Amino acid sequence: MTADQSWDLHEVRQEAAEAAASAHEAYQHASDAHDRCDDLQDELNEFGDLAIELDAWAEQITKQVENLAERLAELDPLAAEAARSSSTASSRTPAATSTNTCSSSTPAHPSETGR
């Protein structure tokens, strides 16, 4: 083998080693990206599970609000009737008068009478 051929072989081996190192680095990046993709898929699945759970909660809350609205609709006529009855009853009842709790019939304190 001549010196030129030896040198060419050395360069080819060096380029092959650099290509192998680059390929290994690319493989590592691809592997890391794949792992990250798996992690993101797991997170997405968790968010999907949470979304399903939140949707179920929203449905329960909606049903409870609908039930409360129905009850309120049932109570509204009763409340209106109670208000009419209350206003009718209060118009028949004489108004309360205020009383003076410090009337003159209250005995004076001994210091006020000089005793």
Those residues with Cβ within 8 angstroms of residue 1's Cβ, 6 or more apart along the chain or in another chain? 9
What per-residue confidence (pLDDT) applies to 3? 84
In total, how many domains does the chain have?
1
Containing structural domain, residue 65: 11-88
Any domain includes 51: yes
Backbone angles phi, psi at 3, to 5 degrees: -65, -40
The whole model's pTM is what? 0.45
Any domain includes 110: no
Any domain includes 106: no
Higher pLDDT, 37 or 84: 37
Residues 14-34 have pLDDT tens digits of 999 999 999 999 999 999 999
Any domain includes 2: no
Q: What is the rounded average pLDDT for all residues in the chain? A: 82
Q: How far apart are CA 58 and CA 64, in angstroms?
A: 10
Q: How far apart are CA 33 and CA 17, in angstroms?
A: 24
Residues 34-54 have pLDDT tens digits of 999 999 999 999 999 999 999
